[in-house]
Amino acid sequence: MKRRQFITAAATAAAATTAACAGKDPAAAGACAPGEKAEFRWKLVTTWPPNFPGLGTGAVNFAQTIEKCSNGRIQIKVYGGGELVPPFEVFDAVSRGTAELGHSGAYYWKGKAEAASFFSSVPFGLTATEMNAWLYFGGGLELWREVYAPFGIIPVPCGNSGAQMGGWFNREIKSIADLKGLKMRIPGLGGEVLARAGGTPVALAGSEIFTALQTGNIDAAEWVGPYNDLAFGLYKAAKYYYYPGWHEPGSTMECLINRKAFESLPADLQEIVLTAARAVNDTMLAEFNARSFEALDQLVNLHKVQLRAFPPDVLRLLRELSQQVTAEKAAADPLFRKVHESFSKFQKGVAVWTRVADQAIVETRAL
């Protein structure tokens, strides 16, 4: 199945229905009332705590949009991480058909396919808007589907948290030496880069972070950003909040679709599923941008969190180590190399536009 079949057809054939179901066309919204009898009853498993702000609620919105826009022909039960399967078994659950849908982040699956990290976020990589540009118009989505094809999964973008924060720390990071021996919750390629810098990456589900940080089992942790970090109360477990999120400059969330289940749907329902994912991909990023600045204000001014920037020499080292890690993986894995070449070429090109457009505007506002 080609991207043109998945996306162009979905955008043209189902956009009006999605707009109605999303509330953009109130006059047509009545057409989206759930039907009396479902033709398909699906399960959606997630990596997130149930109804967790932004991430968990984004998965719920995805399911509800499909139900409404299909007139109830597809009904979906959403499971938070650990309710049906553990948070880090979402990929396997969708692959084997335990659930028809999953919602997670692709970098959690690098143990299955090294190239998976590129489709979520990689250190010093693309921003959220650049990621969408690469996925939809730069060949990224086709590569993503190639990577997941052996597992019987069709991936689609289904949300983005935007630029993340560098994390919560129980000690200050003043120099490269402060990374030595640092035990930090950090996934994906970012964790491998930290290891190269002398730290110890730890894999933890989001629901486990607070306790691990509070008890001292870890020295630092990254989760998402102010909106989600405030919801988890991480400010109660660590006092230093660092930026920028060098490891995740624009994190795409994914919808995992079991291929056999998807192909069992008639064409109109296939289009609804794909178009609903695009709608959530857009609205989740808007929600994170709208809520994160409010949450950051609370963290700093109400809870007296100490907001700090990583020193330039620390960021330079981490960038160099990131380049080493990706270069070595590209040399060892042909599929990783193929994705890396596409990603890097696109980043080099789009960076020129980002610099003279978005970055220039931000700098102008500071004059």
Please check the confidence at residue 204 and state whether its pLDDT lies above 80: yes
- Number of domains composing the chain: 2
Examine residue 171 and state whether it is found in any structural domain, yes or no.
yes
With bands split at pLDDT 50, 70 and 90, how would you rate the model's confidence at 36? low
Examine residue 297 and state whether it is found in any structural domain, yes or no.
no
Q: Are residues 69 and 183 in the same domain?
A: no
Q: How far is CA 259 from CA 30, 81, 96, 184, 313, in A?
A: 31, 22, 10, 36, 46
Q: Are residues 103 and 189 in the same domain?
A: no
SS3 call for 15 = helix
CA distance 65 to 278: 11
With bands split at pLDDT 50, 70 and 90, how would you rate the model's confidence at 5? very low
Q: Are residues 9 and 78 in the same domain?
A: yes
pLDDT at site 12? 44
Residues 43-77 pLDDT 10s: 999 999 999 999 999 999 999 999 999 999 999 99
The token pair at 153 is 């999964």
Please check the confidence at residue 280 and state whether its pLDDT lies above 80: yes
Q: Are residues 257 and 331 in the same domain?
A: no
The token pair at 221 is 């942790």
* Range 215-236 average pLDDT: 97
Examine residue 364 and state whether it is found in any structural domain, yes or no.
no
The token pair at 224 is 């998402």
Q: Are residues 212 and 244 in the same domain?
A: yes
Task: Provide φ and ψ at 86, rounded to 5°.
Answer: -60, 155
Examine residue 354 and state whether it is found in any structural domain, yes or no.
no
pLDDT at site 207? 92
* Range 209-233 average pLDDT: 97
pLDDT at site 25? 40
| Of the candidates 42, 271, 337, 307, the residue with the CA atom closest to the CA atom of residue 167 | 307
CA distance 127 to 162: 7
Please check the confidence at residue 134 and state whether its pLDDT lies above 50: yes
Q: Are residues 119 and 264 in the same domain?
A: yes
* Range 232-242 average pLDDT: 97
**Which structural domain range is residue 329 located in?**
167-248+304-343
CA distance 128 to 258: 26
pLDDT at site 366? 87
CATH of the domain at 110: 3.40.190.170
Please check the confidence at residue 27 and state whether its pLDDT lies above 60: no
Q: How far does the chain reach from its first CA to its final CA, in angstroms? A: 49
Q: Are residues 83 and 217 in the same domain?
A: no
Q: Are residues 154 and 93 in the same domain?
A: yes
* Range 143-148 average pLDDT: 98
Please check the confidence at residue 19 and state whether its pLDDT lies above 90: no
CATH of the domain at 218: 3.40.190.10
Q: Are residues 235 and 281 in the same domain?
A: no
Examine residue 333 and state whether it is found in any structural domain, yes or no.
yes
Residues 282-310 pLDDT 10s: 999 999 999 999 999 999 999 999 999 99
Q: Are residues 224 and 260 in the same domain?
A: no
Q: Are residues 232 and 136 in the same domain?
A: no
State the average pLDDT for the chain. 92
Examine residue 61 and state whether it is found in any structural domain, yes or no.
yes
Q: Does residue 20 or residue 355 have the better pLDDT? A: 355
Q: Are residues 231 and 320 in the same domain?
A: yes
Task: Report the share of the chain in percent with pLDDT over 70.
Answer: 90
Please check the confidence at residue 29 and state whether its pLDDT lies above 50: no
